[in-house]
């Protein structure tokens, strides 16, 4: 993050430039000396600004990496939650289906139970595929 120190460096450079510029008229410096002092102050200020920008870019990139990691974590948690819900639903549906099958006679019971089991297995497979795709 851009700190007060970085801002202070830029501020000091600007103040130094202004002081040199303002001081030229009273100090008795020659025009070329004053021009050199102003150019030097400008260069110092420019370097301070460039450094502050580089530091800010580094801080932003670091924060972006943190955001990316948190987004990935959020996506993973959401996918796991969706999977858990689908499995709970599949288990509930399976239990209901097998209870309904219990009212049937022997042959129909076997067919009904087989279908309930197949539906349950298919629901679990869909939930797993969705989780794996996330």
How far is Cα 3 from Cα 101, in angstroms, rounded to an integer? 70
Tally the domains of the chain.
1
Q: Which domain holds residue 28?
A: 4-133
The CA-atom distances, in angstroms, between 72 and each of 60, 67, 77, 80, 85 are: 18, 9, 9, 12, 20
Average pLDDT of span 37-61: 92
Say if residues 93 and 120 touch (Cβ distance below 8 Å).
Answer: yes
pLDDT in tens, 60-109: 998 888 888 889 999 999 999 999 999 999 999 999 999 999 999 999 99
Angle at 124 between CA 120 and CA 125, to 5 degrees: 115
Burial class (CB in 10 A: 0-12, 13-18, 19+), 86: middle
With contact defined as beta carbons under 8 Å apart, do 45 and 17 qualify?
Answer: yes
- CB burial of 5-25 (b: ≥16 within 10 Å; e: otherwise) equals ebeebbeebbeebeebeeebe
- pTM reported for the whole predicted model: 0.55
């Amino acid at each position: 993050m851009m700190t007060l120190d970085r801002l202070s460096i830029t501020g000091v450079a600007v103040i130094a430039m202004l002081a040199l510029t303002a001081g030229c008229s009273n100090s008795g410096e020659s025009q070329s000396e004053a021009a050199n002092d102003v150019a030097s102050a400008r260069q110092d200020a420019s370097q301070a600004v460039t450094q502050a920008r580089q530091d800010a870019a580094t801080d932003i990139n670091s924060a972006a990496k943190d955001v990316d990691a948190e987004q990935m974590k959020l996506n993973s948690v959401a996918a796991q939650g969706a999977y858990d819900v689908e499995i709970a639903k599949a288990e509930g549906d399976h239990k209901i289906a097998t209870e309904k099958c219990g009212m049937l006679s022997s042959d129909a019971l076997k067919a009904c139970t087989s279908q309930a089991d197949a539906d349950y297995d298919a629901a679990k497979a869909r939930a797993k595929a969705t989780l794996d795709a996330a």
